[in-house]
Amino acid sequence: MQIVILGAGYAGLRAALDLDRLIREHGYDATVTLVDQNAYHQVVQVLHLTATAAIHSREAIYELDRLLRSSDIQFVQSRVCRIAALDRALELADGRRISYDRLVIALGAETAYYNIPGAKEHTLPLRTYEQALALREHIKAQFSAAAGAANPRVLLTTAIVGGGFTGCQIAGEVADWSDQLCAETGAPKNEVRIALLDRGPALLRQFGAWAGKDAQRSLDRMGVSVYLNTKIEAVEPQLLQVEGKRLLRAATVIWVAGIQAPALLAESGLEVDSTAASMSIGIYGCAIKA
């Protein structure tokens, strides 16, 4: 039996390693193939630290070659373009086609933009290692440019859209990093602004009211301005248009306002509902019995 696992994130890597162990322990006639677009496993929960240079960038990734070395798992590095479920086959970006008997889908989630005009084009997301590196370089460049600018306020303003877990974490880290960046670049500290915006009435809603209040107090102490009940209507370069015709100018807009299931699933004709993004893993074929 050919078992193929899509995604070498938390869910996919764990599933691959556990299945490989079971197959070897019980002598099952099965192979495990793991497919990921990257040659590394990314430690997603430290990406906000990578994005703000709080850790060395290599600390956020582990080479899959090394993680899989003592297993029989076959690793294929490629981006999956389509799942042809009726043919039990996958189409990869490099033109290869892989057949499977059982398929485990663990592709994680994508940033959700809710069709807000300009949101995808003019903001920086934070869901992957590459995005974290891009965000880090972008923020550094704004501070460097601000050092010699006549009006540095916009360059030194970071707006974070989304007051969930990732939004609160990155807001705190940007605040922490700003002092260091000002010292390194000569950018004026008194012009630094950090705004965290959420369309809901509280931060960290999934953890309850106490957590939101606690987070707000901590962020306030760190100099982060929190704007609740603030809905973004459109984004333009360096400009957030807020409901009620208010405008916020910021050279860095970080979009962490939510996630959705990878578009690839619906494009492949698989059923996707609003809970799919929070479900890390799906198994196509039938249940795998251990």
Ligand X SMILES: Cc1cc2nc3c(=O)[nH]c(=O)nc-3n(C[C@H](O)[C@H](O)[C@H](O)COP(=O)(O)OP(=O)(O)OC[C@H]3O[C@@H](n4cnc5c(N)ncnc54)[C@H](O)[C@@H]3O)c2cc1C
What dihedral do alpha carbons 96, 61, 70, 2 form, nearest 10°? -30
Segment 195-234, which members bind ligand X (CB under 6 A)? none
Span near ligand X by CB under 6 A; candidates 8-16, 65-73, 144-152, 205-213: 8-16
The pattern of x and - marking residues 269 through 288 that bind ligand X according to CB under 6 A reads -----------x--------
Q: Which is nearer to ligand X, 4 or 248 (CB)?
A: 4
Helix axes of 209-221 and 165-185: crossing angle, nearest 10 degrees: 10
CB atoms near residue 115 (< 10 Å)? 7
In the set 142, 158, 166, 268, which binds ligand X (CB under 6 A)? 166
- CB of 129: closest distance to ligand X in angstroms? 9
Q: Which is nearer to ligand X, 118 or 282 (CB)?
A: 282
Segment 14-73, which members bind ligand X (CB under 6 A)? 35-38, 42, 44-45, 47-48
Give residue number: closest CB to ligand X: 9
Q: Does 174 bind ligand X (CB under 6 A)?
A: no
Q: Which is nearer to ligand X, 87 or 243 (CB)?
A: 87
Span near ligand X by CB under 6 A; candidates 106-114, 180-188, 204-212, 225-233: 106-114
Kindly determine how many residues on this chain lie close enough to bind ligand X according to the rule CB under 6 A.
Answer: 27
The pattern of x and - marking residues 70 through 89 that bind ligand X according to CB under 6 A reads ---------xx---------
What is the side-by-side order of every strand in the sheet holding 224-227? 124-125, 252-255, 157-161, 193-197, 224-227
- CB of 188: closest distance to ligand X in angstroms? 29
Segment 121-140, which members bind ligand X (CB under 6 A)? 126-127
Q: Which is nearer to ligand X, 24 or 79 (CB)?
A: 79
In the set 3, 4, 67, 107, which binds ligand X (CB under 6 A)? 107
Q: Which is nearer to ligand X, 14 or 153 (CB)?
A: 14
Span near ligand X by CB under 6 A; candidates 9-17, 66-74, 223-231, 247-255: 9-17
> 161 — phi, psi (to 5°)?
-100, 115
- List contacts with ligand X (CB under 6 A): 7-12, 35-38, 42, 44-45, 47-48, 79-80, 106-108, 126-127, 166, 169, 262, 264, 280
